[in-house]
């Protein structure tokens, strides 16, 4: 069935690219028949699609680059991924190494053997960091937004020689799977439950999350997404983020409801509760996301549901490391390519994994952090709320990266 065209800015076009196992839908600008412009790949977050880069793509293309934003595996108009139900889907096809493989295959299909910059926002920043970690030769630079890189896996160390009286040394929290995917997560669910709360990533990993978020009438889907985008943006007065002390229930409950939810609530219910006192019941438009653009997201998620994207969270949280073990081979490895971090100053995503930003800034997780910017007045949706600053950060980063 033919899908309606997306309302794209001038110069941005849409098509599908067949790779080994996916038919990847991309938005692009700046392509030449000779493939003589450096390639930039932009990876979206959740609940988003390639369309979230609509304001950044033409700006980067105008600077002389070939810019491509794909709908990633499980999202939007990309097909070929495992669409079976919750119990039957092969989650190995949503592992981080598989997501990196998707982007390497896409670049090759486009006629490129290297990528000047891979940029990622939200969970797209996780896959962008994984790209740079696994193939620093292929991805020449990496720009992360709203989700700092918390480091490669940190494995149990010197356990064979530990003194029995003092016990063995163990891994610290963090790693490519994040604190939520490590031993540090043990007991956090019970501790949060005692406080009447639950972590959104574990909710996203449950069987009921998909239907509760997807089985909405069109007006309900629009209202839910309007509220979700609003609450995480710089427009919501409830966002006053600050660093957290550690990965503990006492610290995590300081996060807003869209991160640390009421224990017995759905995500649409959580959003609706926090939107009760907002103007127009949360239906008021934003300059960076007017209703006609929000309608694109509502239509796409009404068509596809959310489960494809939710499978990303299942791999990193509820599967108890089953699908992240391959990343153990990168233990102790830093991001080697030149790196940028740009995010909204009002984005709680900067701090939801305590200490991650500090690891990037002090060289523990990132060997060459060249650009670090937090943008005033901007929340979680940096590429949409502040496309000029995102473009500037990427160009400042790759201006110092040789061909």
Query: What's the pLDDT at 53?
Result: 98
Predicted confidence band at 185 (pLDDT cuts at 50, 70, 90)? low
Residue 173 pLDDT > 50: no
Task: Determine contact, residues 275/230, Cβ cutoff 8 Å.
Answer: yes
Domain ranges of the chain: 13-154+324-398, 188-313
Predicted confidence band at 164 (pLDDT cuts at 50, 70, 90)? low
Tell me phi and psi for residue 161, to 5 degrees.
Answer: -115, 10
Residue 178 pLDDT > 70: no
Per residue in 311-334, pLDDT tens? 999 998 866 688 999 999 999 999
**3-state SS, residue 244:** coil
Per residue in 229-279, pLDDT tens? 999 999 999 999 999 999 999 999 999 999 999 999 999 999 999 999 887
* 33-42, 102-111, 182-191, 344-353: least confident range: 182-191
Percentage of the chain surpassing pLDDT 70?
91
The residue-averaged pLDDT of 41-55 equals 98
Of 346 and 181, which is predicted with more confidence?
Answer: 346
Closest listed residue to residue 24, CA positions, set 33, 15, 12, 11: 15
Continuous H helices in 305-386: 307-316, 356-361, 382-385
User: What is the CATH number that goes with domain 13-154+324-398?
Assistant: 3.40.50.1820
Q: How far is CA 312 from the centre of its chain?
A: 10
Mean pLDDT of the chain: 92
Residue 80 pLDDT > 80: yes
Query: What's the pLDDT at 56?
Result: 98
Cβ neighbours for 129, distance < 8 A, ≥ 6 positions apart: 120, 142, 144, 149, 176, 335
Query: What's the pLDDT at 271?
Result: 97
Continuous H helices in 280-363: 291-304, 307-316, 356-361
Tell me phi and psi for residue 139, to 5 degrees.
Answer: -100, 105
Cβ of 89: how many Cβ atoms within 10 Å? 18
Residue 177 pLDDT > 90: no
Query: What's the pLDDT at 205?
Result: 95
The residue-averaged pLDDT of 215-236 equals 96
pTM value is: 0.94
Query: What's the pLDDT at 286?
Result: 78
Distance CA 6, CA 171 (A): 46
**3-state SS, residue 357:** helix
Q: How far is CA 378 from the centre of its chain?
A: 17
């Amino acid at each position: 069935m033919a899908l309606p065209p997306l309302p794209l800015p001038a110069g941005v076009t849409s098509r599908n690219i067949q790779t080994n196992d996916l038919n990847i839908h991309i938005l692009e600008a700046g392509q030449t028949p000779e493939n003589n412009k450096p390639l930039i790949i932009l990876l979206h977050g959740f609940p988003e699609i390639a369309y979230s880069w609509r304001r950044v793509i033409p700006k980067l293309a105008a600077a002389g680059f070939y810019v491509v934003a794909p709908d990633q595996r499980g999202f939007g108009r990309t097909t070929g991924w495992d669409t079976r139900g919750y119990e039957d889907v092969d989650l190995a096809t949503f592992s981080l190494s598989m997501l990196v493989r998707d982007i390497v295959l896409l670049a090759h299909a486009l006629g490129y053997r290297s990528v000047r910059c891979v940029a990622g926002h939200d969970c797209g920043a996780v896959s962008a960091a994984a790209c740079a970690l696994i193939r620093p030769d292929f991805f020449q630079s990496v720009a992360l937004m709203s989700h700092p890189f918390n480091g490669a896996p940190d494995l149990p160390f010197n356990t064979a020689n530990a003194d029995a009286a003092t016990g063995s040394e163990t891994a610290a929290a963090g790693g490519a799977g994040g604190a939520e995917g490590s031993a540090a997560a043990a007991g956090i669910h019970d501790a949060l439950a005692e406080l009447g709360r639950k972590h959104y990533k574990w909710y996203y990993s449950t069987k009921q999350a998909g239907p509760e978020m997807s089985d909405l009438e069109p007006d309900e889907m629009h209202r839910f997404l309007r509220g979700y985008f609003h609450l995480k943006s710089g427009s919501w007065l409830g966002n006053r983020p600050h660093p957290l002390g550690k990965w503990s229930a006492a610290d995590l409950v300081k996060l807003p409801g869209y991160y640390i939810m009421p224990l017995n609530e759905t995500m649409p219910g959580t959003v609706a509760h926090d939107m009760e006192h907002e103007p127009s019941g949360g239906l008021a438009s934003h300059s960076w996301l007017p209703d006609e653009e929000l309608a694109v997201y509502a239509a796409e998620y009404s068509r596809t549901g959310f489960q494809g994207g939710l499978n990303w969270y299942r791999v990193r949280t509820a599967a108890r490391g089953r699908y992240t073990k391959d990343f153990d081979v990168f233990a102790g490895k830093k991001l080697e390519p030149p790196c940028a971090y740009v995010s909204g100053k009002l984005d709680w995503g900067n701090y939801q994994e305590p200490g991650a930003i500090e690891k990037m800034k002090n060289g523990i997780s990132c060997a060459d952090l060249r650009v670090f910017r937090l943008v005033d007045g901007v929340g979680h949706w940096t590429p949409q709320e502040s496309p000029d600053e995102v473009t500037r950060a990427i160009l400042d980063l790759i201006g110092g990266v040789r061909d």
